[in-house]
Amino acid sequence: MRLFAPPVREHDGRTSMRSLADALEKLRRDDGLTDDETVEIRAQAFAVPDGGNVAFVAVVLRRAEGAMTVVHMPVSQLLFTAVSTHGERLSYPIQALHEAISDVHGNVSLSDGRFIHSVDLTPSAWPRAFTARDDRIVRHAITYLGKEDKCYGSPYPDVLPDMRLLRYDQVRRLRVKPFAALERYILERMPDTSPGEIKSALRRAGTRFPHARPTPRSRAPQ
């Protein structure tokens, strides 16, 4: 029985890498990737605050005794391009990369049996309207509502199970009720914010507010 989890080494290529070749070069240079080794690719779509989806992609090198090196690729669009066995550069759905295997030269065997090479990602910008402060507000709201188990997840749980990304598909299912108590909770932790900023951030994240009841009309005196 192991007392400690095997080490996981991580490289951040989210701003500097665009292709599988970039990740392989990093692994050769910094981790001694050899010609007889292969790497695995993980690729999963995740919802973002504006209602769309982006892809999180990682290149994984597994070594003896469970040790791993993970290269984080840029947040990407849901299509990538690669060269087929016929020499054509084509577009493929990002899900086709999930659990693919590549050799050190970038020759990739997809999980459906196809072979491609020269894999390039298309980076995707995070919604500009959603800021780091908005993210903090939403995280406080999730804690207050006790929905951490539903609203956090990892795009590759078999590799990095402790990676805690907000799952906006689940955030959009949250119902903020009662809002006044939630507002007080967040203001205690972020006193430099305002009630209007809190409500705007939660609306941009897609959370649902209870419908206001119509004010009953007073009857005119007879």
* pLDDT tens-digit readout, 8-60: 899 999 999 999 999 999 999 999 999 999 999 999 999 888 788 999 999 99
Domain membership of residue 197 as a residue range: 132-204
Statement to judge: residues 109 and 30 lie in one domain: yes
Instruction: Determine the average pLDDT of the residues in 157-175.
Output: 89
- Is residue 156 within 8 Å of residue 56, measured between CB atoms? yes
Global model pTM greater than 0.85: no
For residue 91, tell me if it sits in a domain.
yes
Q: Indicate the burial class of 136 (C-beta count within 10 angstroms; 0-12, 13-18, 19 or more).
A: middle
Statement to judge: residues 29 and 116 lie in one domain: yes
For residue 215, tell me if it sits in a domain.
no
- Residue 75 per-residue DSSP state: P
Statement to judge: residues 74 and 101 lie in one domain: yes
Strand segments, DSSP code E, in 63-188 are 68-72, 79-84, 89-93, 100-103, 107-109, 115-120, 152-153, 165-166
**Amino acid at the residue 101:** I
Of 153, 160, 163, 188, which Cα lies nearest the Cα of 47? 153
Q: Which of 119-123, 155-159, 173-177 has the highest mean pLDDT?
A: 119-123
Structure tokens at 97: 């990369």
Statement to judge: residues 170 and 68 lie in one domain: no
The pLDDT of residue 151 is above 70: yes
For residue 211, tell me if it sits in a domain.
no
Instruction: Select from 50, 85, 120 the last residue of a domain.
Output: 120
CA pair distance 97, 93, nearest whole angstrom: 8
Statement to judge: residues 93 and 154 lie in one domain: no
For residue 1, tell me if it sits in a domain.
no
- Is residue 60 within 8 Å of residue 39, measured between CB atoms? yes
Of 74, 66, 57, 71, which Cα lies nearest the Cα of 26? 71
- Is residue 60 within 8 Å of residue 68, measured between CB atoms? yes
Strand partners, 54: 46
For residue 2, tell me if it sits in a domain.
no
- pLDDT for residue 115: 97
Statement to judge: residues 88 and 40 lie in one domain: yes
For residue 221, tell me if it sits in a domain.
no
Statement to judge: residues 86 and 25 lie in one domain: yes
Q: Tell me: the pLDDT tens digits for 63-97?
A: 887 889 999 999 999 999 999 999 999 999 999 99
CA pair distance 16, 23, nearest whole angstrom: 10
For residue 219, tell me if it sits in a domain.
no
Number of domains comprising the chain: 2
Statement to judge: residues 71 and 169 lie in one domain: no
Instruction: Select from 91, 120, 149 the last residue of a domain.
Output: 120
Statement to judge: residues 87 and 14 lie in one domain: yes
- pLDDT for residue 208: 82
- Residue 71 per-residue DSSP state: E
Helix axes 195-204, 179-189, angle to 10 degrees: 110
Statement to judge: residues 60 and 158 lie in one domain: no
Of 170, 152, 150, 171, which Cα lies nearest the Cα of 162? 152
For residue 89, tell me if it sits in a domain.
yes
Statement to judge: residues 113 and 145 lie in one domain: no
Statement to judge: residues 89 and 140 lie in one domain: no
Q: State the Cα torsion 120-154-163-183 to the nearest 10°.
A: 120
